[in-house]
Amino acid sequence: MAQNPPSGDELLSMISETPKDDGKISYVTANMLTLIYGGNLESAEKYLENAWPDDYRHETYDREQWDRNKYKTKLYEKIKSSPFFRSWMLD
């Protein structure tokens, strides 16, 4: 069931609390999943745009370097494969 989107202040708080170091990916993923499964795709995309700097690259376990767009693509693929996924979550 869709939840109310976070207020502007709540979204800014989420962004400011995102670590700038190696803990970033876990924190970003948790917030993205919370927002998307709550029916707030627009807020999730705003969060990602602001919490993931253009020059940040996440190194995966197999040494791939993911930029923001690659991460987003992979996350959405994973969400779509979940038994909890509903099409409205990514519309």
Contact 36, 44 (CB under 8 A): yes
pLDDT score of 1: 62
- Residue 85: count other Cβ atoms within 10 Å of its Cβ: 15
d(CA 44, CA 6) in angstroms, rounded, equals 10
Q: What is the pLDDT of residues 22-81, one digit of tens each?
A: 678 899 999 999 999 999 999 999 999 999 989 999 988 899 999 999 999 999 999 999
30 sits in which H/E element:
helix 24-37
Q: Is 47 helix (H, G, I), strand (E, B) or coil?
A: helix
- Asked, for residue 2, whether it belongs to a domain, the answer is no
Counting the structural domains of the chain, the total is 1
Phi, psi of 66 (to 5 degrees): -105, 130
pLDDT score of 65: 94
Please provide the distance, in angstroms rounded to a whole number, between the alpha carbons at the two ends of the chain: 14
- Asked, for residue 39, whether it belongs to a domain, the answer is yes
- Asked, for residue 13, whether it belongs to a domain, the answer is yes
- Asked, for residue 1, whether it belongs to a domain, the answer is no
pLDDT score of 50: 93
The residue segments making up the domain with residue 74 are 8-90
Average pLDDT over residues 7-28: 84
